[in-house]
Structure 1
Amino acid sequence: MGFGTGNWGAGIRWWDAVFSSAREAESLFVARLDSGQLRKEKDWRKESHWQQAGKLYERVACTLVFDKRRNKRALELTPVGDSGAHAQTITQTNTRGRSGSSMEKEGKEKAKEGRRWPSYSSKKRSRTDSDDDEFIGPMPGPSNYKPDYEAIRAELEEQRFREKMAMAFEDDERLDSVEASFNSFAHVPMHWGGASQKKARIDYDHDEFLNLDPKTMDDEEYAEWIRMGMYRKTHAQEIAEKEQKKAERAAKRAQEKSIRAETERLEELAASERRFRKRTKENHKLEQLRSEYHHRWKLLLSTTPGQESEVDLGFNDIPWPILFVHRQKNSDCDVLSLDDFTRDAISTFLFTSLTPAEPLTDSGDGQSLSAQRLAERAGRKDKLRETLLRFHPDKFEGRLMSRVRPNEKDKVREALGVVVRVLNDLMGEG
């Protein structure tokens, strides 16, 4: 691309766009530079920029030269036009080591030369731009270059996140170091130590130090032993008062403990007596009910033949071997049903005794123990045999069924069958 006299303004605008793009790139990427590597990164980018800029300037008939007299780099621009070839030097100054007086001197020299071409930078740019501004950044792209702001933003956010994580790790390390410094004490006196000490703390309050042999102590224990001994000598009265109070508290605790034990013993004895009286009362009542049960059977079986027609028996008038029947004998309503004829109800009435049984003792040889068991089994079988004879269907039918009310005979027969089956099961168990 060549510049003639007619399109010199377009060339200036093109170069303005190039340097504006470079400054935008500088403002975007300068945040990514670390403070420790700032100077190194500046030098590298500056040199890389001028090397790549030289290749670009060759395409537009420009040559990158170094003016030794002025100590700066310059572009030798050779525009091509109708009037022939011209040489115009446009400078990009090296800002390091420049002062205001040197800049004014250079401006006067340029004015004396009376150049044909106008200055490369406009007045506005020359007023706002300073020679102290050093170009930092990569090679500017073409005129249609658009930076990827989303990628740059994502990279900056990632960098901020990593910085925050690094700060958090530093805080953790700082706290760990503080805790380690607090826990790094070489010596903590035993009387200051707590329960977390590996070595058990000696309880000097109970005069254990008097029974210790100083020859078996280490330095720390011996120092503590001496300290406690001196304290007891200098505070003898205080120690005596403390021991007296301690003895009084111990005596009071022992007395309270004995009182509690005696109270618990008396309460247990009273509860045992109450249970015994209750069992005795229940046993007496149960024996009365059983006696009444046998008495009612005797009355039924002792009725003379002339009186049988006069007696009318109902379902509840028959003495059944159930405890519930005899407790509700004075009730007028028919409270007994066939559901009450269960195995547990019959066996409880016949065999259960609420009085605690005497333990089976094995004195001498095992003959007494076996004799007791045989006696209990024989008494059990006698009760079952007697009850079977009373409620056997054939015997009951011949002796008492004729005296039962006609509307209740079926119910009585069904109850007889239930009682006989339960008695046979109990007899089979022995």
Structure 2
Amino acid sequence: MPKLKGLKLKDTKLDATERELKKSRRRGDKKHRSHHRHEARHDESNYRDNYRDSTHEAIEEDDEILLTPSSAKIDMDELRAKIEEARFREKMLDAMAEDGRLDELEASYNAYVPPRWRDGPDQPVNPSWMEEEEYAEWVRQGMWRKTHREEVEAQERKAREKKAREEREREIRKETRRMEKEEDERRRKRRAEKAERRLVDAWRDYQERWATLLAVRSDADDKPLTSLTFASLPWPTYPVPADPDALTKEAVAAFLLSSLHSPDMTRKVRIREALRVYHPDRFMGRWMGSVIEGDRKIVEEAVGRVVRALTALAEEQTE
């Protein structure tokens, strides 16, 4: 510890420690000259540790130093700052001595860094580019990795298990969505096929009902039937209309012009044949007398709606 000019300082524990170390070194030199280099290194290490402890104790026991109050406060603050700086530099020198070994261990221990140390993507670092605070933090991180290896290995194992579990769950969800999509597609196709079969069956039923009516009328020797209703008459829509309002142009076109039936008949031919059946004069003269009294009005309205729909479709075919 350097002496301050103009001040008489009382011997401290640091001074006593230094004297004892010097005596110890002289005795060691005489007794162990063959191991001089090894003993010198050992004594130097002891000296450094004792120097640190003694310096710290000397600072804390500043009431033993004989100084005036005003000058003592200023000088001791400066002395404390210098000692703290010396301690920090000594620690940094110790850490820098292990840089090479830490660099070699960085790759192997990098995988065990806990999440709290990871502020960004894992990238190789060069300690020579760091500021002092950054370098000190880097050293602490390396020491943490070494002293908590089992902990970080357990964390890494849990992270791998969690990642694998999440990956399995993602695959399960993906496969489930795929299967659901395929099932939805199958259901859609089944519904479409079922609807197509129903429409084909409805067209067949439509033709058969007209054929039956014509056959019954022919067998009756032109005698009028008296049991026809709105529901018993064939209408060119699917499903069977519940009232005349259901006989729209769109409904007639979807049923009459469907590609699922009558492949040998063009759209124009189908419209022309339907107009021949539902022409008001022809229909009224042939069938209205066989309709029950309560349904004649709605049957007449239905015939008019069908004819208007067929006429509109025929006009669209000529455009």
1:271, CA displacement in angstroms?
2.6
1:425 aligns with 2:318: no
Tell me how far apart the structure 1 counterparts of residues 258 and 183 of structure 2 sit (CA, whole Å).
25
**Residue in structure 1 matched with residue 176 of structure 2 by the alignment:** 263
Q: Are 1:242 and 2:155 counterparts?
A: yes
**Amino acid across the alignment from 1:347:** A
Map 1:172-187 to 2 at 5 A: none
Inter-partner Cα distance in structure 2 for 1:390 and 1:265: 51
Is it true that 1:343 corresponds to 2:255 in the alignment? Answer: no
Q: CA deviation at 1:270?
A: 2.1
Q: Which residue of 2 aligns with 1:251?
A: 164
Instruction: Give the superposition deviation at 1:250.
Output: 0.9
Distance 1:320 1:396 in 2: 12
Aligned residues: 198
Kindly indicate whether the alpha-carbon contact (under 8 Å) linking 1:341 and 1:419 is maintained by their aligned counterparts in 2.
yes
Mapped partners of 1:219, 1:428: distance in 2: 91
Query: Alpha carbons of 1:210 and 1:324: their partners in 2 closer, same or farther (altered >3 Å)?
Result: closer
Read off the aligned partner of 2:248 and give its amino acid letter: T
Note if 1:273 corresponds to 2:273.
no
Amino acid across the alignment from 1:307: D
- 1:389 maps to 2:302: no
What amino acid is aligned across from residue 427 of structure 1 in structure 2?
A: A
Greater strand share, structure number: 1
Greater helix share, 1 or 2?
2
- CA RMSD between the two structures: 3.4
What does residue 316 of structure 1 align with?
A: 231
**TM-score normalised over the length of structure 2:** 0.52
Alignment of 1:28-427 (within 5 A): 204-205=117-118, 208=121, 211-302=124-215, 303-304=217-218, 306-309=220-223, 311-312=225-226, 313-325=228-240, 336-351=242-257, 379-405=266-292, 408-427=295-314
1:372-410 CA-to-partner distances (Å, cap 9, x unmatched) read xxxx9x844343233222212233245444544566545
What are the Cα deviations for residues 6-42 of structure 1, in whole angstroms up to 9, with x where unaligned?
xxxxxxxxxxxxxxxxxxxxxxxxxxxxxxxxxxxxx
Q: Give the letter aligned to residue 222 of structure 2.
A: E
Read off the aligned partner of 2:223 and give its amino acid letter.
Answer: S
Residues 234-243 or 303-312, more deviating: 303-312
Change in 2 beyond 3 A, CA 1:412/1:252: closer
Gaps of 5+ in 1: 1-201, 327-335, 356-375
Between the aligned partners of 2:138 and 2:218, the Cα distance in structure 1 is 105
Paired with 1:406 and 1:298, the residues of 2 have a C-alpha distance of: 24
Q: Deviations over 1:315-372 (max 9, x none)?
A: 332201232437xxxxxxxxx433333334333433468x9xxxxxxxxxxxxxxxxx
Instruction: Give the C-alpha shift of residue 255 in structure 1.
Output: 1.0
Residues 117 and 141 in structure 2, CA contact (< 8 A), matched pair in contact too: yes
Q: Quote the residue 2:87 is aligned against.
A: none
8 Å CA contact 1:341–1:415 kept in 2: the answer is yes
Q: Structure 1 residue 420: deviation in Å?
A: 0.8
Name which one, 1 or 2, has greater alpha-carbon Rg.
1
Closer, same or farther: CA 346–208 of 1 in aligned 2, 3 Å: closer
Identity across aligned pairs (percent)?
A: 36
Cα deviation, 1:230-250, whole Å, max 9, x if unaligned, reads 211222222222212211111
Aligned-partner SS, 1:240: helix
